[in-house]
Structure 1
Amino acid sequence: MVIPETSHKEEVMKLIAKKEQIERSINDFGQILAANKNVGMNESLLDAEGFPRADIDVYAVRQARHEIICLQNDLKATMGEIEKGLINVHAEARTNHATTTTKMANMEISPDTTPEELPSHRIETTVHTTPILVVTMVAPSSPAEDCGIRKDDEIVEFGSINHANFRELKQVSELVMHRQNQPITLKMKRQGRNLEITLIPKAWSGRGLLGCNIVIPNSQ
């Protein structure tokens, strides 16, 4: 979205920069999880006898998980502030009869586009509600189960992929391969409730990097 030249523009740009920094920090802490046997956000840190696992840095993993949860909350709050800021920007532009009009940027985002690669002067504010994928199976102890994905979940956004730019399942596969061992934000619907989770694709004892089967709605 092009932001008009108003007194609120600088504030909005600072918020966008803050958003991008938060996303980079989430990725950094995700690397700590990846470096410790690819543990996810929910995998047990205790061994079979109930003691802290000796094969990973339990303290570092716990700290990274805590930071990721806090950062995800900060990201959600920052996105809300950005939306409010854009409303103020546009309202002031109309009041001052600004010559610059606002419009949504018709920017096509490829499946492997990362937040750092997005132009800093643009931000996607469209709220997508149409499911693009449905989960038909989740394997036990898989990355998908670890992050909280369940059978029959409807995925509305898979990272940068949403109803506006989704074309085929190959896009999801390419994104997952590109973001291996890195967090991907998923927005989903489950029994009428909206959910947002963080999925970290990684190698595990089963096939693939997710451990779940997803299909395009109405193609099951």
Structure 2
Amino acid sequence: MVITQSELMTKAQALMKQKDDLEAEIKTLQDNLKAQKVGMSERLVDSSGFPRSDIDLVVVTTARSGIIKLQNDLKSVMLQIEEALHAVHAEAIAEKQRKEQEKKLQAQSSPESASTSASASTTTGASGSEALEVLKPFAKVNMVAPDSPAREAGLLQHDRIVSFGTVTERTPDTFAALSKHVMERENKPILVKLLRGDSTNLVSVILVPSQGWGGRGLLGCHIVPA
């Protein structure tokens, strides 16, 4: 059974929602500790070895154990998100290759030519997949507005964008194409691959352009040439 790119994206979005819920639960428990004026490591007994009377031990111990459990769950979900995003990316490349192959096969009239075309398409597709790994960032994030779609997706200032959906450094009129792609994908997920800090490992995020978040534009971030 072939899983479509749309189905893979839906799975990734569900995992992102799960991540957000876990982070919200962790923050609530951390706030409970903050209200007790303790963190995760302070002693719960006084100098005489008796339980501290200035804190609610039940609240503190419950919060601490809950945070540890939720943080472990969060690590697991983050790994699943990474795997899901890689699957979305791989399926996007495969779908593009299939479409290119179909076009070339349709353009040929003889079985022999069609075979040659299919072989050429496969070679081209493989090269394209390999080339994606060595693409250079074509843009960087100069600013991210609070409560914006960009902030919700996890974009950070100084992130360097390698691919924004179908747009890469090799796309003609890159920023015009980027603007058009964003408008065409309003309220639809876009897979963004980027480099963060000094790391050479690609980071993948899902950005959904939308209005009504309280600011201008569909993204809520300022993107400039890299």
**TM-score, with length taken from structure 1:** 0.52
C-alpha distance 149-71 of structure 1, shift in aligned 2 (>3 A): closer
Match of 1:159 among 162, 165, 187: 165
1:202 and 2:210 aligned: yes
Q: For structure 2, list consecutive stretches of 5 or more residues without a partner in the other structure.
A: 29-75, 95-114
Shift of 1:27: 4.6
The answer on whether the counterparts of 1:30 and 1:183 sit within 8 Å (CA) in structure 2 is: no
1:213 and 2:222 aligned: yes
1:25 and 2:31 aligned: no
Matched ranges for 1:51-62 at <5 A: none
State the secondary structure of the residue aligned to 1:170: helix
C-alpha distance 161-154 of structure 1, shift in aligned 2 (>3 A): same
Q: Distance in 2 between matches of 1:197 and 1:183?
A: 10
C-alpha distance 71-195 of structure 1, shift in aligned 2 (>3 A): closer
State the secondary structure of the residue aligned to 2:178: helix
Listed one character per residue, the Cα deviations across residues 133-154 of structure 1 (whole Å, up to 9, x for unaligned) are 1111111111111111111110
Listed one character per residue, the Cα deviations across residues 192-219 of structure 1 (whole Å, up to 9, x for unaligned) are 22211111111111001110000112xx
Match of 1:177 among 177, 183, 200: 183
The answer on whether the counterparts of 1:136 and 1:214 sit within 8 Å (CA) in structure 2 is: yes
Q: Report percent identity of matched pairs.
A: 29
**TM-score, with length taken from structure 2:** 0.50
State the secondary structure of the residue aligned to 2:193: strand
- Number of the residue aligned with 2:69: none
State the secondary structure of the residue aligned to 1:175: helix
State the secondary structure of the residue aligned to 1:104: helix
What is the aligned-residue RMSD (CA, Å)? 4.1
Shift of 1:183: 1.1
- Number of the residue aligned with 1:73: 83
Bigger RCO of structures 1 and 2 (CA < 8 A, at least 6 apart): 1
Q: Distance in 1 between matches of 2:183 and 2:78?
A: 21
Shift of 1:128: 3.9
- Number of the residue aligned with 2:141: 135
The answer on whether the counterparts of 1:128 and 1:162 sit within 8 Å (CA) in structure 2 is: no
Q: Distance in 2 between matches of 1:167 and 1:77?
A: 28
Letter of the 1:76 counterpart: H
Structure number with larger C-alpha Rg: 2
- Structure 1 residue runs of 4+, over 4 Å off? 26-32, 39-46, 66-72, 98-102
Shift of 1:123: 9.3
Higher helix share: 2
Letter of the 1:191 counterpart: G
State the secondary structure of the residue aligned to 1:196: strand
Listed one character per residue, the Cα deviations across residues 89-131 of structure 1 (whole Å, up to 9, x for unaligned) are xxxxxxxxx98555315xxxxxxxxxxxxxxxx9941324311
Listed one character per residue, the Cα deviations across residues 159-183 of structure 1 (whole Å, up to 9, x for unaligned) are 0111222423121111111111111
- Number of the residue aligned with 1:192: 198
